[in-house]
Structure 1
């Protein structure tokens, strides 16, 4: 995907709270029915129903624990598959 070169869906915003996961592989803690706290090597799975196939923007709010390293990793799977090269091993930094 190159911004401005491919159409992005005009669907309504879909908001999912961190604690709304449907599965987890590892230790998971939830807070205030909104956030999820995971440790290294843990994965969480969410079910998202989208109105139609297409390109969507994803916005992720995160916080890295002060006890953790200065960065964390994230991989995005769609229907069990990495949808594009940059979706695997993304680095999330703590500033």
Structure 2
């Protein structure tokens, strides 16, 4: 029987996060976001074994690809700004305002 699984870790713990966009799923096991695959038990087991053996390498390669998608450091910094607290964002905005006076 086919089931929807995470293509990264093989988990069935995936949820469709944006109904308007069929390809946006979230894996609650490994935090993967993107399309899922339909697989049988054999394929799922292969993916899970690969994830167990190569988790660190897979995550490292994905991080490198993520960093390479940004042309320069400022774009990468902008992406990191999404993770700032409100106080940190306010401080950054104040600094930018002062620099551009």
What is the TM-score with the length of structure 2 in the denominator?
A: 0.26
Select the structure that is richer in helix: 2
Select the structure that is richer in strand: 1
Structure showing greater Rg? 2
